[in-house]
A and B are shown apart, each in its own frame.
Chain A
């Protein structure tokens, strides 16, 4: 059974849905029951960052070995990361409205995510604007490495140095605060792993269809 990890991903997410609603959460002012969003909103970002990391690793491989296979994996995993970012942004926006009071706050993490989303959209524009496959692979791989570095700087590094409403940034409480509650940990970590596996599965499907497409278009190579 080589698809065991797909089933594992589905089961972990299912577990996080059941446990996420049932397991008691600490009573914290203003956040209250909405802390359960942690099981659903935050794993989106974990999945997105993992997919972007996979993408950049394959970009380096594509550059060093000029392999078409690595280029397909790199580009498809980058595009599988986008829906996670969008869903994370929308869910975060709704959560922000009810706990911070506004759909869009001037939080550095929000603006950083918006900026990195634009950087990644430019990556797809760049890819679709080059017709020659080898040139496309090389130029977009180089761009992808820069995009990844900018994304990490925007959403993981800068928010730690300036005031942010997000946990673990500026003067705010960190994940350690939640981690004190071991109940939440037992749901949060499986949820992250589950969604990461789902993201890898989406990538795999995209890679396979892209390969089929190329085989159909260019024949046996």
Chain B
């Protein structure tokens, strides 16, 4: 008899704790609509091109330095 009483209390407690945690988690405002519109792909394309362009520019500068290195090393060695 006592065990059934504890068991019911236990189940009730679990139930209450579940409802409590459900109350705590209000819906967080996320940019769902923005993502649903699909325009984010456009932004990603632009940002990727900007970064890719910068990286390419860096590569070209890197190559230029390599060429100057060769020239100077020929001169001094």
Task: List residues of chain A with CB under 8 Å of any chain B CB.
Answer: 3, 6, 10, 13-14, 17-18, 21-22, 27-29, 32-33, 201, 205, 208-209, 212, 215-216, 219-220
Contact = CB atoms under 8 A, between A and B. Distances in A.
10 contacts: A3-B62, A13-B51, A17-B51, A18-B44, A205-B58, A205-B62, A209-B65, A212-B68, A215-B76, A220-B77
By secondary structure, the B interface counts as helix
B28 A208 contact: no
Given A18-B48, A212-B72, A27 B28 contact: yes
B76 A220 contact: yes
Given A21-B43, A21-B44, A22-B44, A33 B77 contact: no
B18 to A, nearest CB: 19
Interface string B39-73: 01001100110011001001101100100110011
Contacts of A21: 40, 43-44, 47
> What range describes how many residues of B lie at the interface?
20 to 34
A205 B30 contact: no
Contacts of A28: 28
A220 B72 CA distance: 10
A22 B29 CA distance: 17
Contact of B62 (A6, A13, A33, A219): A6
Contacts of A17: 44, 47-48, 51
B31 interface: yes
Given A22-B40, A215-B72, 6 more contacts: A6-B59, A10-B52, A13-B55, A18-B44, A29-B26, A212-B65
Most buried by B among A33, A205, A219: A33
Nearest to A221: B76
A48 B52 CA distance: 22
Nearest to A27: B28
A14 B52 contact: yes
Given A13-B51, A17-B48, A21-B43, A201 B28 contact: no
